[in-house]
Structure 1
């Protein structure tokens, strides 16, 4: 039973991480990767940013900013422009489709958060305390995956003792 809980935790974590790698449509009719959404959100949260500012905010190279800009411009989600008096630096802004993507992204997470909040609000304070303590403990310890087979826990092909 103990190993089942830890395995479920890691399976859910793996599922979340794999889901983050999968592209998703947030209302634009196009699949977008999380890195593209991060770029779009950076423009949304920092309007009139140039490539240098976006590279600092996203901790990516200016070349990567250009690549994301090119890709998302082709998809009609962002546009680049020059400011009057500055013919050198390119600035980024969202198109109407880009704002639709941001709105879809916010709604997607709002719905997920609402669902988990509804579930958590149905729990007793004691159940919430147990979940919180478990999450605190597992984040403080170097716990790794274990396998559960025939009522026994296995870690690195070794049988775990009954008390973990």
Structure 2
């Protein structure tokens, strides 16, 4: 098999294995929330002035999907909307107190998993990290440029 294809398959398999491994604990600790909802909550916590477009780009979802998810989260008092003084047309999102609690719980799970998997990262050298980051960066840049060219 071509090494390039094998590398992509191994990366995707690893990502799926991580998700499968973490999913039961995530579902138990954050019962009633889908992975997409948790991702939106996480992005709202991290992105400055998050709006539908920014959330769609960050989560690789459509704006329509983000609109549906945010409506559900608003109805559940997890997020709320606001407008900036300089832009009265655009709606932005922020976490409510309930949303902050969910996000904190989610972040604690990620920390727990990092600690659980620490032995893998402890053995990696700076050069190994740099190589992996360079590869991912180049690949993502290729995809971004391709996407830009299609929209021009």
User: Normalized against structure 2, the TM-score is what?
Assistant: 0.57
- Call closer, same or farther: CA 1:89–1:63 in 2, change over 3 Å: same
Q: Tell whether the 8 Å contact from 1:26 to 1:101 is kept in structure 2 after alignment.
A: no
The aligned counterpart of 1:24 is 27
Instruction: Give the 5 Å matches for 1:121-136.
Output: none
- Name the Cα RMSD after superposition: 3.1
Q: Distance in 1 between matches of 2:21 and 2:114?
A: 19
Change (3 A) 1:83 1:26: farther
Structure whose CA Rg is larger: 1
Whether the aligned pair in 1 keeps the contact of 2:26 and 2:109 (CA below 8 Å) is no
Task: Give deviations 1:94-126, integer Å, cap 9, x for gaps.
Answer: 111111111111111222332343xx49xxx8x
- Which protein has greater RCO, CA pairs closer than 8 Å, 6+ apart? 1
Aligned length: 108
**Structure 1-normalised TM-score?**
0.53
Aligned to 2:58: 57
Provide the C-alpha distance between the structure 2 equivalents of 1:14 and 1:75, rounded to a whole number of angstroms.
31
1:24 aligns to what SS in structure 2? helix
Q: 1:61 to 1:15 in 2, by over 3 A?
A: closer
Can you give the 5+ residue segments of structure 2 that lack an aligned partner in the other structure?
Answer: 1-12, 124-152
**Corresponding residue for residue 72 of structure 1:** 73
Gaps in structure 1 of 5+ consecutive residues: 1-9, 126-164
* Moved >6 Å (runs of 4+): none
Distance of aligned partners of 1:16 and 1:65 in 2 relative to their CA distance in 1, 3 Å threshold: closer
| Structure with the higher strand share, 1 or 2 | 1
Q: Which protein is richer in helix relative to its size?
A: 2
